Amino acid sequence: MTITITAFERSPDGGKGLARDTRVRWALEEVGQPYQVRLVSFAAMKAPAHLALHPFGQIPTYEEGDLALFETGAIVLHIGERHAGLLPTDANARARAITWMFAAVNTVEPPILELVTARILEADKPWSNERMPLVEERVRGRLAQLSARLGDADWLDGAFSAGDLMMVSVLLRLRPSGILDAFPNLAAYVARGEARPAYQRAFAAQLAVNVGHRRE
């Protein structure tokens, strides 16, 4: 059955791959599944048809037959459960890979989103300069813990898994801040993720959507 995901008609990042459809594209490329993309405008995302798919009016969504999903972690898990290539077959290793998926979105991503919010949405607030060091320190603390756990391994738990796909995707959001450079093994980990052919195809596909706009 045809898989259809939704993505920004015009991503605020101009195609740097930071919008979360890139995670789903990457997962589908890793398992070799073709997919369609329905591009949605900001207005369309808040209209009833999309809200029926995504109660929070966001992208991405995932549709396959009469299944409709939202939340990138859940979509990537679904893809990993249906197709080989993202989750280990060994039950314990699979459970650990899913642990890392949750760790990415529930433990590592929140302080990073705080930083993105502070830098983009709160920079003009009178308390921004006072708050920023606290936010940055919370990110550095988490990265230090992750860096210590990763050490000099290629991936978080043996072979590449959906846990790494989610963790690399979360860490990529930090790139504009430069904080990742203070943790060379994490920067190399992210670069390994980006070097994967499946990521390259996912990145190129989302860029093509946005480069088209730049030409107009």
Ligand X SMILES: N[C@@H](CCC(=O)N[C@@H](CSCc1ccc([N+](=O)[O-])cc1)C(=O)NCC(=O)O)C(=O)O
Q: In angstroms, give the least distance from the CB of 140 to ligand X.
A: 21
- Give whichever of 56 and 127 is closer to ligand X, judged by the CB atom: 56
> Pick from 3, 5, 15, 20: which binds ligand X (CB under 6 A)?
20
> Which candidate, 96, 103, 87, 77, places its Cα nearest to that of 170?
103
- Give whichever of 104 and 143 is closer to ligand X, judged by the CB atom: 104
Q: Which of residues 130-149 bind ligand X (CB under 6 A)?
A: none
- Give whichever of 184 and 212 is closer to ligand X, judged by the CB atom: 212
Which distant-in-sequence residues (6+ apart) come within 8 Å of 101 by Cβ?
Answer: 73, 76, 77, 162, 163, 166
Q: Alpha carbon of 175 to those of 93, 99, 115, 182: distances in Å?
A: 29, 24, 12, 11
Angstrom distance (rounded) from CA 122 to CA 30: 37
> Pick from 3, 25, 72, 172: which binds ligand X (CB under 6 A)?
72
Angstrom distance (rounded) from CA 46 to CA 50: 7
- Give whichever of 77 and 147 is closer to ligand X, judged by the CB atom: 77
> Pick from 44, 57, 201, 207: which binds ligand X (CB under 6 A)?
57
CB 165, CB 202: distance < 8 Å = no
Answer yes or no whether residue 205 interacts with ligand X by CB under 6 A.
no
* Residue 184 amino acid letter: P
> Pick from 9, 13, 114, 122: which binds ligand X (CB under 6 A)?
13
Answer yes or no whether residue 12 interacts with ligand X by CB under 6 A.
yes
Angstrom distance (rounded) from CA 21 to CA 182: 28
Answer yes or no whether residue 61 interacts with ligand X by CB under 6 A.
no
Binding-site ranges for ligand X (CB under 6 A): 11-13, 18-20, 45, 57-59, 71-72
